């Protein structure tokens, strides 16, 4: 067999962190261990019945057996616009300011292809969701990392970014509620972001993957609800987390019409749109009574409380996360993120994600997903306690 050399673009891709983590876990499960996997961001609960039923019905309709129209069915784009108006009081033109996509992972990748030339500069959070960097690397653009520090509430300190970088920046990726730090943002922070983007003429890409998941009664604002945000940016919204639809691969980008147009242009070359029945089911998910989303957020909030209380009981004094379904906890003294997460994996069979997988500044932390029952979270804490590290 000939072995063909990879393109330079592929060689530039960073390691796929989550793919690596999964392999060791599978091995332990195969060996018969009872592994509590809190390492990934894969929601554990099923999609609501009414959404599944909408898919089933739509799958029987022959209109959905054909290619769906380029850029998707207008009814889905209209539903997205109504959803944004209803939930975030943001006005969107469904034909010009909404692009449908196969999950936001590919969308975030596409944005770099759409806006960055080789050598261009992109501002990325560190720690951050790893795929921003993948897209930037494939485009052969240059990443400049914005530290997300606990002392700043895990928000970037815009004053500390070099002026020359701000002048050269073409794109800034942001994500609140934040993966991995669980930090949340305020309207004032977005106002500041809009002003900075206007001043330096870069595009803000706000990844709102955990938008619905805020705790203690605090509703998370959309980036687009800041005055002038549509002039300078877009927001990515996925159904994976809020609607337990990670396997369905459905998301959308909304906002700046010129960027949406470019995304749609690229997509016209890459694919026709999503399976029609998925579009029908996604429309069902975001229309009508959304109280089931609040119920899901309550589930995560209860799990958060159980995890934090149980960890306090074993002597690990962690602060409660404010949003997302992750907790971002400093590791005990004397351990690196990797050493600590490996210890938990090998000795307690509890999977957590080592913070350095999200960038250099994730060192010293682990990310724990609230993605199992309250009982299993308690059990995870008990097993960690038995290691005798915290007393
Ligand atoms: C911050 C963030 N953005 C985007 C995604 C991708 O989500 P999807 O491709 O399922 O829409 C994830 C998934 O883990 C995420 O955590």
Chain centroid to CA 169: 22
Measured distance CA(107)–CA(100) in Å, rounded: 9
Q: Which of 41, 223, 234 to mutate to test the pocket of ligand 1 (most atoms within 8 A of CB)?
A: 41
Q: Which residue has the tokens 């030339």?
A: 117
Measured distance CA(54)–CA(57) in Å, rounded: 5
Question: Is the link from the previous residue into 127 a cis peptide, with omega within 30 of 0?
Answer: yes
Long-range (24+ apart) CB contacts under 8 A made by 20-23 are: 21/351, 21/353, 21/357
Alpha-carbon distance values, 186 to 18, 189, 206, 324 (Å): 29, 5, 13, 15
Q: Across the chain, how many H-helices and E-strands are there?
A: 14, 12
**How much distance in Å is there from the Cα of 179 to the middle of ligand 1?**
9
Atom of ligand 1 nearest to the CA of 175: 1
**Per-residue confidence (pLDDT) for residue 270, from 0 to 100:** 94
Q: Are 131 and 112 in contact (CB under 8 A)?
A: no
Q: Which residue has the tokens 């596409």?
A: 110
**Per-residue confidence (pLDDT) for residue 14, from 0 to 100:** 85
Atom of ligand 1 nearest to the CA of 106: 9
Residues found in the chain: 391
Tens digit of each residue's pLDDT, the chain (391 residues): 999 999 999 999 987 767 777 788 899 999 999 999 999 899 999 999 999 999 999 999 999 999 999 999 999 999 999 999 999 999 999 999 999 999 999 999 999 999 999 999 999 999 999 999 999 999 999 999 999 999 999 999 999 999 999 999 999 999 999 999 999 999 999 999 999 999 999 999 999 999 999 999 989 999 999 999 999 999 999 999 999 999 999 999 999 999 999 999 999 999 988 999 999 999 999 999 999 999 999 999 999 999 999 999 999 999 999 999 999 999 999 999 999 999 999 999 999 999 999 999 999 999 999 999 999 999 999 999 999 998 7
Q: Sort 359 into a burial class: Cβ within 10 Å, 0-12 / 13-18 / 19+.
A: buried
Pairing assessment for the beta strands 121-126 and 142-147 based on DSSP bridges: parallel
Q: Which of 17, 183, 240, 325 to mutate to test the pocket of ligand 1 (most atoms within 8 A of CB)?
A: 240
Measured distance CA(65)–CA(54) in Å, rounded: 15
* Number of C-beta neighbours around residue 132 at 10 A: 27
Atom of ligand 1 nearest to the CA of 178: 1
**Per-residue confidence (pLDDT) for residue 21, from 0 to 100:** 73
**Per-residue confidence (pLDDT) for residue 23, from 0 to 100:** 82
pTM over 0.85: yes
Residue whose CA is at the smallest distance from ligand 1 atom 14: 41
Q: 3-state SS of the chain: helix, strand, coil percent to 5?
A: 45, 15, 40
Atom of ligand 1 nearest to the CA of 246: 10
**How much distance in Å is there from the Cα of 252 to the middle of ligand 1?**
12
Residue whose CA is at the smallest distance from ligand 1 atom 6: 105
Binding pocket residue ranges, ligand 1, CB within 6 Å: 41, 103-105, 129, 175, 179, 207, 209, 238, 240, 246, 251
DSSP string, 25-91: HHHHHHTT---EE-SS----SPPPHHHHHHHHHHHTSGGGGSPPPTT--HHHHHHHHHHHHHHH---
* Number of C-beta neighbours around residue 295 at 10 A: 10
* Number of C-beta neighbours around residue 11 at 10 A: 9
Long-range (24+ apart) CB contacts under 8 A made by 231-234 are: 231/194, 231/198, 231/256, 232/194, 232/197, 232/198, 232/202, 232/203, 232/204, 232/256, 233/194, 233/197, 233/203, 233/204, 233/205, 233/206, 233/259, 234/111, 234/203, 234/204, 234/205, 234/206, 234/259, 234/260
């Amino acid at each position: 067999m000939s072995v063909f050399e990879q393109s330079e673009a592929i060689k530039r891709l960073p390691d796929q962190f989550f793919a690596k983590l999964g392999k060791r876990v599978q091995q332990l499960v195969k060996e018969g261990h009872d592994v509590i996997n809190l390492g990934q961001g894969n929601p554990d609960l099923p999609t609501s019945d009414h959404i599944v039923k909408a898919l089933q019905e739509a799958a029987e309709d022959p209109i959905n057996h054909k290619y769906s129209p380029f850029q998707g069915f207008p009814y889905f784009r209209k539903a997205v616009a109504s959803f944004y108006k209803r939930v975030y009081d943001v006005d969107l033109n469904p034909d010009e300011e909404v692009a449908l996509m196969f999950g936001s992972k590919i969308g975030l990748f596409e944005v770099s292809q759409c806006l960055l030339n080789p050598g261009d500069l992109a501002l990325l959070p560190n720690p951050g969701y790893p795929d921003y960097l993948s897209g930037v690397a494939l485009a052969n653009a240059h990443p400049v990392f914005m530290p997300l520090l606990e002392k700043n509430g895990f928000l970037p300190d815009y004053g500390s970014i070099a002026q020359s970088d701000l002048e050269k920046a073409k794109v800034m990726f942001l994500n609140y509620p934040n993966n991995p730090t669980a930090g949340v943002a305020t309207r004032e922070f977005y106002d500041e972001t809009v002003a900075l983007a206007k001043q330096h003429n870069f595009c803000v890409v706000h990844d709102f993957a955990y938008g619905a998941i805020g705790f203690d009664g605090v509703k998370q604002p959309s980036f687009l609800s800041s005055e002038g945000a549509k002039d300078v940016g877009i927001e990515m919204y996925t159904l994976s987390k809020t609607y337990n639809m990670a396997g369905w691969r459905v998301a959308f980008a909304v906002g700046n019409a010129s960027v949406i147009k470019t995304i749609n242009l690229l997509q016209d070359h890459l694919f026709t749109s999503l399976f029609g029945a998925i579009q029908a089911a996604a429309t069902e998910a975001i229309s009508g009574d959304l109280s089931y989303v609040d119920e899901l957020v309550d589930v995560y909030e209860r799990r958060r409380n159980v995890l934090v209380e149980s960890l306090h009981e074993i002597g690990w004094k962690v602060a409660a996360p404010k949003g997302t379904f992750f907790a971002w906890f400093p590791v005990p003294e004397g351990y690196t993120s990797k050493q600590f997460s490996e210890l938990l994996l090998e000795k307690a069979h509890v999977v957590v994600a080592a913070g350095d997988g999200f960038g250099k500044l994730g060192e010293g932390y682990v990310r724990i997903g609230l993605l199992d029952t309250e009982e299993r979270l308690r059990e995870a804490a008990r097993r960690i306690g038995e290691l005798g590290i915290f007393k």
